[in-house]
Chains A and B, each alone.
Chain A
């Protein structure tokens, strides 16, 4: 079976010096792949390049058999790729409901939001509130919920735990695992919070200075003390 997402030799960055060097990885359907690494390792740049916000300088990205070169950012969601950017990207001037509707707007007919509200009862309570009135955790739920409203096959998730209480982070991780198990959603999860990411991931990839330095099953990464010390610092 061919992978859902195949990345080969991806090099990208912001001008003269590339941030990502020769990155290759695959994500299977129904797999959660955690991308780990320090600040500035190139994790967000990787996601931004995959969703087309940044042009790739070299390399190939194939999603479900289709080469993504030249595909516009706004088409990505049509293919089944949803990107939740760092800082969550909730449109703060719009209400919760409007943000969620925006997520599924490109689908014809437009999907019902009821399953999303069922998944996040808290959002249903705050339906009419503006984005800037929400707490950090609520915003993260909204951003993920909005991405799910597009019914993607691959979720690119950038630092969902950033600035959240451990309890809420745990909730979100559990939710991702359930979604994977229930719907076969694939997730490329960028995280600094290594423990929670590996707690749900199938595979872990460690980026350092824009290069992949190691990749293993999540269980191996957690269990092997040498690997942990060398790459993850705990």
Chain B
């Protein structure tokens, strides 16, 4: 059990409005990722859901019951923080059981739940250690374990992978995905990394400047972004935006085309350009071109492609996969 309804939530810090009216519905068992650039309000929204921050107006309901004014500990939530936030003076076992002890759970029930969680996260050998004796990845697993033990209606993750190195990040990401499948719990996950969002989410909520730009399945956002911001934020490398006037399109203001939807040819094509730089990643190659008509473009080619800086290439966009945006940034036909 664990649905979440956010109804016109606003949050001001002094005169600064950080959340400008957020409406969102999260179904039971869903994995929802809030993504957006720093300062877009995604963490604030998560803290409002957690009860660590009071909303200035609006309603938050968990399982249909309004939790406005309810302290965090009684909202039936658990949270995993970016900096792990383990209690330094307690062992792993006590870190995981503190919340239950505070709630007055029976000792044998606490022991049982800690055992289940530590087996699930392979923390058994570390139960009697203190956080200082663990590596970063282990600490974050303990933090996840501390959340699991509470058996919450709602899991909240606040950029949990940001402090881990690249290899560990991929592993932990996998573990969180498996955890979600096993527990079938409702999870809300905040990140600024669109790769995490794409790989983990059932649905992604893209936030910008305190507003929701678009909500949808990862592929919906990728294939049919509602506006220029979402189009630019989802997908890596970033979508190319071309001034529509340069291409003779009077209706639209910007034309967008993803780097992977451009093809290059040394002999002929739509736009002629000069190679500025090429990045060889093995599985694919990113080529940065300065074209006469469309300006600077990034092209992503699958596989290896030899392009010397300074050489001339012709770029052709896939007409099926170009996007047009009006002057408000909204997508048009």
- A and B interact physically: no
List residues of A whose CB falls within 8 A of some B CB.
none
List residues of B whose CB falls within 8 A of some A CB.
none
